[in-house]
Structure 1
Amino acid sequence: MTKRIGVIFATASALAALIAAGPSQAETKLSFLIDNSPDTVAAADALVAAYEKKAPDVSIDIEQRPGGGEGDNIIKTRLATGEMSDVFLYNSGSLMQAIKPGRTLVDLSNLSSQANVNESFKAVVRADGKVYGVPFGTAQGGGIFYNRKIYQELGLSVPKTWAEFMANNEKVKAAGKVAIAQTYRDTWTSQLFVLADYYNLNAAVPNFAEDYTNNKIKYATTPAAMKGFEHLKEVHDAGLMNEDFGAASYDDGLRMVATGEAAHYPMLTFAIGALKQDYSDNLNDVGFFAQPGDDASKNGLTVWMPAAAYIPTGSKHIDEAKKFVDFVGSVEGCKIMMATNTVQGPSLVNGCPLPADVPPSVKDMLPYFETKGLTTPALEFSSPIKGPSLEQITVEVGSGIRQPADAAALYDDDVRKQAKQLGIPNW
């Protein structure tokens, strides 16, 4: 009897302690998958910290993945197996189309933040009339970063044609410096001479995107489309690259152009964020220009849209994930990213203007956007088709292993397989 009374007393005491403590605070834990580039990590950390202050009942764990083809495979595998995080970052445009958004992604059309998102961005995250993402960053240009100190030291001018660019490279080489940093350890970086040449391709063949999508035109049979592959070979054969181009990483390329180890680095301007994070003392030493073509009077910029934040249909916390993604796409979220990473191009959120103190590489880019006809979206935003093996093919051409004509034909076959997988008509 005494033992029974003791048990009752202990139980009552425990219950009283729980009542005194009050109800425990409910907490939702979200997972957020991002790529591992320094600028992305910094922006994600800042957004999560700000959101957790606004919503103390929510905690967000950031996961990282590699970029390039390896990262693409991780995204596709996790979506296919139902193991995707509650929110994830991924490309907009053709690569979003490739993950079958109508089946794998949550419709975000009705988020309040969408009212301020530029239509040009919505167009590249839309499928079947539904908007599936919000922008993670600003618009970007694809072209060539250059070291302003080297240009000043050697008396070089920003080139408007490919011939002028190659002449600059020869002068840099003659001065005993690396003319062009290439970083094929991170295979995705090898694609720039092909992809950033699209403004020039579109100027020469204005119907290329439509005919390419409809299987009426090929890279291997279109001289203007072959130019990017030919540029890779030309740069390799001229001995203009760093000796360790096969082992060098994206971060090595940024360091080289920022510190003056190399005069040029072909890259997207999203790298401005990483330059600020890792080489802030050299940020003002880096300029930018569009990849030159054959005609100085038609010098313009190929434009990329940033990655987007998406929610997979398999998330167990869709309502809370929507609130976080709405914050990412908001004016406040845009300003947080700008303050963290500097800007990488024009803002895609109305009410989130560029700060006055943008670095030279951004100032170099703005005239292209301010003059009608001097920008065109990259092919992956004008067509749903982008072959997944391009980065391996461009590494081979840039390393002297494969000839441009063979590479273009191989890429055409890669595109054919992708188009069939996506169910594109006429393939």
Structure 2
Amino acid sequence: MAALSSCGSGSEPAADGTVTLAFLVDNSQATVDTAKALTDAFMRSNPTIKIETETRPGGSEGDNIVKTRLSTGDMSDVFWYNSGSLLQALNPAQTMVDLTGDPVLRNVQEDFLPVVTQAGKVYGVPGGTAMGGGILYNRKVYERLGLRVPTTWAEFTANNDKIKAAGITPVITTFKDTWTSQLLVLGDYYNVQAAVANFAQDYTANKVKFAATPSARAGFEHLAEVHAKGYANEGFGSATADQGMKMLVEGKGAHYPMLSAQLPPLMATMPQAGTDVGFFGVPGTDAATHGATIWEPAGIYIARTSEHLDAAKKFLAFVASPAAADAVNKAVQPAGPYRVEGAELPDDAIQVAKDLQTYIDKGATAPALEFVSPVKGPSLEQITVAVGSGLTPPAEGAAQYDDDVEKQAKQLGLAGW
């Protein structure tokens, strides 16, 4: 990727009439590859606009770079950053171009807009695809044992009992990578919202708690059950996410609570991952309302300091178009559906992306809680490791998490805390 040069957001059009846009993205391989596919395709059809892409680190270091550059007026014209609650910390009303009602958004799916909206104003278009957070499962194991995709937790438990009896690990658990311990809690949010429609709003206002809300506490209970019933693999405390994915693809484990984005990177070395692994949402209590929790794509935004607004909007309109999805499909295997009307998954899309598309087509999805509430405690992964290892009872773990989020909510200065 090209480093940001002197012809960034404050430059005048060149003598030949070309304009150069600066585009800041994180340095993960999937983002870099997606950004390259987008910019190459855009520049082919817009020869008077040149895009120079700059990378930044991910994680908190990258967050700080974005915040600093926005606050000092030194941001690139266009930048790739999280959607959802993290957007709030960027003070978009002061730092970004308001796209509310702009033709740029014409193809953006309506139910994506809330995660790039602050105080009623829309600021971004989707970069990349949605991904599912739920249960990845080995379809060949299911076929061999005559199992059906469960739509309730009771059915899931029954499947696990049959899988265990067949000598296969029912639920792959990889607590060496502590972040993986959170999926049964975070991926259960669809069921929380189905049971308590205003949970995110009330949770943000400190009116409801995980420990006192049965549907929210259920994720912790599921974690405890997996351990108590002996569904986890041996050595789960020292197992890594990479080892877990390998177990799943090879059929040594049947289920893995995980994000669908873990699949595309495996395609080069384990191509069967694309067909042998499927996805279903964490099952709840009611088959009639079965659905899935999704992690929305990042947003692509325009900095208010850009002096090339027309060119930047032209680029965002392209990003949010079926043509952009087609360009990306040639470079990156999508981990889930696009959030753009008319943007289709390729015929050879991995099975998990197709499964997720089915949930979206049925309208049976909810964004993960972190996309609809800024309250997420920093210690969740340590708490879920303890609950999932049988060290902390689930009700106690839920109460610990309620305490954990309180510190963060006060730091954010949220009302009601």
| TM-score > 0.5, shorter chain as reference | yes
Residues 374-385 of structure 1: pairs in structure 2 closer than 5 A:
374-385=364-375
* RMSD between superposed Cα atoms in Å: 3.5
1:126 aligned to 117, 120, 138, which one?
117
Equivalent-residue separation in structure 2 for 1:248 and 1:314 (angstroms): 46
Residues 47-126 of structure 1: pairs in structure 2 closer than 5 A:
47-54=38-45, 58=50, 60-63=52-55, 65-66=57-58, 87-109=78-100, 112-126=103-117
Residues 174-323 of structure 1: pairs in structure 2 closer than 5 A:
174-243=165-234, 245-276=236-267, 279-312=270-303
Q: 2:360 corresponds to which residue?
A: 369
After TM superposition, give the deviation of residue 108 of structure 1 in Å.
Answer: 4.2
Does 1:411 pair with 2:411?
Answer: no
Equivalent-residue separation in structure 2 for 1:351 and 1:95 (angstroms): 28
When normalised by structure 2's length, the TM-score is 0.81
1:155 aligned to 138, 146, 154, which one?
146
Gaps of 5+ in 2: 1-14
2:24 aligned to 29, 32, 42, which one?
32
Q: Secondary structure at the match of 1:267?
A: strand
Task: Return 184-193 or 71-80, whichever deviates more.
Answer: 71-80
Does 1:391 pair with 2:388?
Answer: no
Equivalent-residue separation in structure 2 for 1:73 and 1:200 (angstroms): 34
CA distance change for structure 1 residues 144 and 50 in 2, over 3 Å: closer, same or farther? Answer: same
Equivalent-residue separation in structure 2 for 1:286 and 1:170 (angstroms): 20
After TM superposition, give the deviation of residue 363 of structure 1 in Å.
Answer: 3.5
**CA deviations over 1:309-364 (Å, ceiling 9, x no partner):** 23455779877655544433333222222343344444322232344454433343
Equivalent-residue separation in structure 2 for 1:173 and 1:58 (angstroms): 57
Q: 2:164 corresponds to which residue?
A: 173
Task: Return 242-251 or 404-413, whichever deviates more.
Answer: 242-251
After TM superposition, give the deviation of residue 288 of structure 1 in Å.
Answer: 1.2
AA aligned to 1:404 is P
After TM superposition, give the deviation of residue 175 of structure 1 in Å.
Answer: 3.3
After TM superposition, give the deviation of residue 265 of structure 1 in Å.
Answer: 1.7
The count of residues paired between Structure 1 and Structure 2 equals 403
AA aligned to 1:44 is A
CA distance change for structure 1 residues 322 and 197 in 2, over 3 Å: closer, same or farther? Answer: same
CA distance change for structure 1 residues 88 and 396 in 2, over 3 Å: closer, same or farther? Answer: farther
- For the pair shown, the structure with the greater C-alpha radius of gyration is 1
CA distance change for structure 1 residues 115 and 238 in 2, over 3 Å: closer, same or farther? Answer: same
Gaps of 5+ in 1: 1-22
Give identity over the alignment, percent: 52
After TM superposition, give the deviation of residue 226 of structure 1 in Å.
Answer: 0.8
Equivalent-residue separation in structure 1 for 2:103 and 2:267 (angstroms): 31
The structure in which a higher percent of residues are helix is: 1
Equivalent-residue separation in structure 2 for 1:264 and 1:85 (angstroms): 42
AA aligned to 1:167 is A
After TM superposition, give the deviation of residue 249 of structure 1 in Å.
Answer: 4.3
Contact 2:104 2:314 in 1 (8 A): no
After TM superposition, give the deviation of residue 297 of structure 1 in Å.
Answer: 3.4
